[in-house]
Structure formats: structure tokens, C-alpha cells
Amino acid sequence: MFRSPSSSTAPTGSTGSTAPAGSRRPRRTAVLVAAVAAAASLTAPAVPAIARTLASAPAPGPPKPLVKQPVATGYGGAVSTVDTEASRAALDVLKDGGNAMDAAVAAGAALGVTEPFVAAIGGGGYMTYYDAKSRRVHAIDGREFAPGRMRADSFVDPATGKALPFDQAVTSGLGVGVPGTFAQWDLALRRFGSRDLDDLLRPAIRLADRGFVVDQEFRDQTAVNEARFRDIVPTRELFLPDGRLPEVGSRFRNPDLADTYRELAKRGTKWFYEGRLAEEIVRTVAKPPVDHAATRIVRPGLMESRDLAGYRALMRKATHVAYRGADVYGMPPSSSGGSTVGEALSILSNFRLDGRDPATALHYYLEASKLAYADRGRYLGDADKVDVPLEEILSSGFARERACLIKPDEAAAAPVPPGSPDGSYEPCVPPGTQTRALAFEGPQTTHLNVADRWGNVVAYTISIEQFGGSALTVPGRGFLLNNELTDFSLQPPPPGGPADPNAPGPRKRPRSSMAPTLVLKDGQPKLALGTPGGSTIITTVLQILMNRVDLGMDLPTALSFPRATQRNTPQVFAEQIFIDWYGRDLAARGHRLEVFPGPPAGVIGAATGLEILRPGLVQAVAEPVRRGGGSAMVVRPVR
């Protein structure tokens, strides 16, 4: 499918490498820790045996109520999500003659039931879509935007002049952006779907009515939120039935959400954005339904009815870079996913990555990430509101100028300064003097991929930001509202400093790292990929692409391989098994590796992907272990 690593273009005065040291299949932190103990005395060449061990390692705790299959290969269409019920909903649509966009919306609605802490209709997301009829890639922006009354200092406490404590910004009406998911579904189906929304909501309605079996992951996510959920009356009533955490093996029902979906199926988008539901959302944001006995500070938000009425999902031009003979498409601003993945790939294209020397290749990956994140922090924001030099950031000239700063045997001290994507590029430039701190992004998101029998492909990332979003449930409606506005830079820059492209502002979309990615070869789709993980999304997608394209790993191995993330911070955060395998060699080059603090601790991302192996034959791939494992399905499996 892809050009072999040996045919890559060599850089100016550089050598490099990266090896398919094999596959490890992590997803629950305890499994990762156990795997590390088993692998501690082994070197990278022994990885395949360890990968087999990890793949078969049982997750701790009670057995899962549903069997999740992480890899499926076959014909007629394919889907990969984090959840079996959502994958089944999409697969049923495909079997019934629906197309990829139809199936993606059905899966998204089902995830709103089974993954309510990350995928509610109170949030937003991004889609990239390959349309087989026109042979074009489209980007569909369903990102939330800020209310019209939002200002650059809206998150600043006037008493201190400092940004609000982060937990107070999150659990508040102030952090709630105008939801974009439902408008995005409506736009996507009108442009590319073949089924009506009411048909596609039916599987999720049935699921919400009958309920699903609680697994350990759902209970753990509820437990993380227990204290704040108890303080918000409708949230406590919904997610802490009888005042207790849901038990593993019990059935969780959400009849309020089923009724909300029924009304949406009947009344459509206008009811959500201009009708009664809009009024209820605004009331919840303006007067958070906090228990009178609670001591938690839950600030009201700035949202008004006109903000919901003015929301529109948007068609965007996807980002594009050429890489090793393939075309990589991603999400443009306000997402930084497409631009930062694209810039890092363009930097890496200046180096030959050799699977026989994995430590050197990983060194280049970490250094390219470091440089791309520096530029992300300086230049990326909502391109409808600020000037983003996107074309120059993705240009080969800028990439070579940045690549020349990478030393083959020495890591640059982080944070590194941003470059100057000004169209005038020298072979090398001296380091600058300014950089910007990495803003916090919650890692709790979800991603799904769908391909149909006609060759259409969707990569779709959905989020309400934190696990549990703002913790504000719209009373009687069964869904949580997001806290996506905390993705803005909460503290204004100091006087005289450069303007922050991600400062809050009216009707502005906060910067995101979501990176639904499509890869084409000779004009035909080959890969679809994405992951949750906040600002680690970009490095996870980048590392999987490098594993697959440069290192010759198959997609299941590339996706389950140990991960590290470098986001222009002094430390490289990594999964423990990555440190065990590569830590010594990378430390010798000056990298400081530490275990990723989470949440969840020690686990980076929870990716899903699919690959078209040949015309009609698709392999769907999900995590085997990380965060409980994912679910891959195909219409007609290969026996």
C-alpha cells in the first residue's frame, strides 16, 4: 500500500529510523502494568511475543457483559468504535442499505446512550468524509462556539485578576459552549446521507429504553465524577440511581434520553436550537440545578436563546499534506488536529525512518512533535476569528526550515520556540525567544470510523470535553452539557505579549486537538483514523501513521503499539512499556521520559481505525485493551 521506508527521501545531513518492534495491546491501566512486569527483561526485538501475551491478557475485575472484537476483516462495509452497541447500530444500518454517513450518525446517537460522559448531544465534534461519487474529502465542523457575551477575560476572577480555578471553570455554566452535534448530524445527512434522521435515531432510542449492561469502565467513569454529580440534582438522579454508583452487571436505562431522541426525530433541528429544548438548555446554563445543600461553587453561564438560534454547523476545506506517496487529510481550524499532524508529517518527510533502528526514528517523531506543538500554540485558533497562516504551516518550505533544527543525536530543550511561517524560508534559522504554555484539554472524547460498500468513508470524533462534561444535565432530557469552552486559554496574555489566537471571544470556537484523519493513495481511501485524548490526540494519530506508513506495521499492530507523547513540554510522557523498551536509548539523546499521568494514568488514547486492504475488502480495528477495549465489525466477515 505505502512506499517502503527505504525509499523515503533522506534529509539534509540526517539519518533516521523507526522499527515495527511489534505489537503490544494495551487499554486498561492494570493490564499495562502487568505487561510491563512481564516485559521488563526483554528487548524490542521480542515485542511480537509480548504483543501476543498482551492481546490474550484478561482485564481485571468482573467479566465484560459484551464481547468486544478489536479486529474484523471483510466485505460490504465496516465500523470501529469503542462500544459494541454503537458498532452494532452502525453495522445494522450498513446491512440495511444505508451508507457510511447514515451509519456514523446512528453510531454517534448510540454512543450518546452508552458513552454519555463523552458523546452526548450536549457537545460537538468534527468529521472528515470521503465521498466516493465526487472522489473528494470534506470536513464537517460541529464544534461548539461561545455565547455572544463571551469576552477574553470571562474566565478571570475579578477579585484576583487570575483565571478561575480549573475545576470551577469546568463544573459551571460558564464553560458550556453552544452544542454542535445535532446541527452537524443534520448537515451531514442533508449533504451525504441516504436515510432520514428519525430512522437513524431508532436504534439509540431502543437502546436507551431497554438499557445496556454496565461494565467496569462505565462504573469507573461515574466514580471519577461522583462528587460533582451528587451536587447537581438531575445529574445525580440520572447517573447515581438510588444515590449509589451503578453496579457492574446491572442494567442502565435512560428513558429521558429516549424521549428526547423521539422528540428530535419528530421535530428536527429547530426544536433543539429554537424550540422548547433550546429554552431548557439556556435555563440549565444560566441557572445550574445545584443542590441547595451543596457547597460547590457552580457559576452561571452566558448563553442566551439567540446563541442557540444562531448556531450553524459548517462545511470546511480539509487540511492536506502529501506524505510518502500518500495524501493525508485532516480537520482544519478551529481544530489544530489536521494542521499539527500535517506539519509534523511534513517535518518527518525530511528524514529516512528505518525500522531497524526504532530509537532513532522515535527521536525524530518526538522532535517533530515538539516543533509542531510550538507552532500550534502560537498560531492556531478559530480561523473565522483570527488569522491562521495555515497554508504556510503546512508548506514544505516551512517544514524543512523546522526540520533543520532537529539534531540526530540530541533532543532540543523544551519548550522550543515557534517558527515563522512567513513564506520566506532559509535552510536553517536560529531559535526564537518566545513560546506559549500548553493549554489544558480534557482527554475524554471518542472516535469512530465507518466505510460502506460504495467506498464512502467517515472518520468522526465526538466530545463533551471532560468525562461528564460540565456535570450539568438538562433536567428531564437525559444528556449532559459540555464544558468545551475551557479549551480556550483561560488567562489572557500579559501586557505587551503576543496575542493569543485561542483567547475566548463571542461566537468563537475554542481550539481543539481532535484529528479525524483520512489517508488516500492514488485518489482512493486507504486509512481512517482517530482517537480521544485531549492534546495527546495529535501525537497518537501521528505515531500510528508513522507506525503504519513508515515502519511497515499492519494497522492492528500500529494502533496497539506502546505510545509516547511530546507536546513541547520538558518531559516526554509515555506508557510504561514504551519506557521499558525505548527509555534508555531516548534518554541518551536527552529525552526525559515519565509515565503519562492520565487520566487514566499510564494510558494514552483509545484509538480506532480502518484500512481498505484492497477494493471492497476492509479491516476495522479498535483497541484490544486500552480503556476497556473497542469494537470492530464488518458486514460480511472473511472466514
The answer to the question of residue 495 being in a domain is yes
Q: Residues 445, 486, 557, 565: which is the catalytic one?
A: 445
Is 445 an annotated catalytic residue?
Answer: yes
pLDDT at 399 (0 to 100): 97
pLDDT over 70, % of the chain: 87
SS3 518: strand
**pLDDT at residue 305 tops 80:** yes
Q: Return the H-helix or E-strand segment holding 510.
A: none
CA atoms of 455 and 73, how far apart (whole Å): 15
Q: Evaluate whether residue 359 is within a structural domain.
A: no
pLDDT at 10: 35
Residue 42 pLDDT more than 50? no
450-485 residue pLDDT tens: 999 999 999 999 999 988 999 999 999 999 999 999
d(CA 602, CA 579): 11
pLDDT at res. 347:
97
With a cut of 90, say whether residue 253 has pLDDT above it.
yes
State the pLDDT confidence band at 188, using cuts at 50, 70 and 90: very high
Instruction: Give the separation between CA 152 and CA 149, rounded to whole angstroms.
Output: 10
Question: What is the rounded CA–CA span in Å between residue 388 and residue 70?
Answer: 38
Least confident of 41-55, 411-425, 574-588, 595-609: 41-55
What number of helices (H) and strands (E) belong to the chain? 20, 20
Whole-number pLDDT of residue 109: 98
User: Given the C-alpha cell 452508552, which residue does it identify?
Assistant: 114
Tell me the pLDDT band of 429, cut-offs 50, 70 and 90: low
**Residues that constitute the known binding site for L-glutamate:** 143, 487, 512-513, 534
Domain that holds residue 214: 71-318+438-637
422: its cell numbers = 512567513
Question: Is pLDDT larger for residue 439 or for residue 492?
Answer: 492
Phi-psi region of 386 (alpha: psi -120 to 50; beta: other; left: phi over 0): beta
Within a domain: 331: no
Q: Is residue 23 part of a domain?
A: no
* 3-state class (DSSP) for residue 38: helix
394 phi and psi angles, rounded to 5 deg: -95, 5
Sign of CA dihedral 250, 256, 261, 266: positive
CA separation for the pair 35, 24 (Å, rounded): 9
SS (H, E, C) 336-405: CHHHHHHHHHHHHCCCCCCCCCHHHHHHHHHHHHHHHHHHHHHHCCCCCCCCCCHHHHCCHHHHHHHHCC
Dump pLDDT digits (tens) for 57-83. Answer: 333 344 345 678 999 999 999 999 999
Query: What pLDDT, on a 0 to 100 scale, did the predictor assign at position 39?
Result: 30
User: What would the pLDDT profile of 498-532 be if each residue is shown by its tens digit?
Assistant: 889 999 999 999 999 999 999 999 999 999 999 99
**Sign of torsion, CA 15 21 26 32?**
negative
DSSP 120-189: -TTSEEEEEEEETTTTEEEEEEE--B--TT--TTTTEETTTTEEPPHHHHHSSSTTPPBP-HHHHHHHHH
State the alpha helices, DSSP H only, in 240-311: 255-267, 269-273, 276-286, 305-309
Residue 163 to residue 171: CA distance in whole angstroms: 14
The domain tally of the chain equals: 1
The pLDDT of 310-317, averaged and rounded, is: 98
* Residue 355 is assigned to a structural domain of this protein: no
For 401-418, what is each residue's pLDDT tens digit?
999 999 999 999 999 999
Of the listed ranges 15-24, 279-288, 374-383, 598-607, the least confidently predicted one is 15-24
Q: Is 388 exposed, middle or buried (0-12, 13-18, 19+ CB in 10 A)?
A: buried
Give the contacts of 473 (CB within 8 A, at least 6 positions apart): 232, 234, 235, 238, 239, 284, 289, 479, 480, 481
| Radius of gyration of the chain measured on its C-alpha atoms | 23
Per-residue cell: 58: 484478561
Residue 382 covered by a domain: no
Average pLDDT, the chain: 88
* pLDDT for 162 beyond 90: yes
Is residue 75 exposed (0-12), middle (13-18) or buried (19+ Cβ within 10 Å)? middle
Residue 513 located in a structural domain: yes
3-state secondary structure of 242: helix
pLDDT tens digits along 88-104: 999 999 999 999 999 99
Interstrand relation of 136-142 and 212-213 (parallel, antiparallel or unpaired): unpaired
Average pLDDT over residues 546-566: 96
Which residues are within 8 A (CB) of 176 and not within 5 positions of it... i.e. 6 or more apart?
285, 301, 303, 469, 470, 472, 481, 482, 483, 484, 485
Residue 308, in any domain of the structure: yes
**CATH number for the domain harbouring residue 609:** 3.60.20.40
Contacts of 376 (CB under 8 A, 6+ apart): 336, 339, 340, 343, 538
> In the predicted model, is pLDDT for residue 600 greater than 80?
yes
Q: What percent of the chain has pLDDT over 90?
A: 81
Q: What pLDDT is attached to residue 496?
A: 83
CA distance 564 to 295: 39
Q: Mean pLDDT throughout 5-14?
A: 36
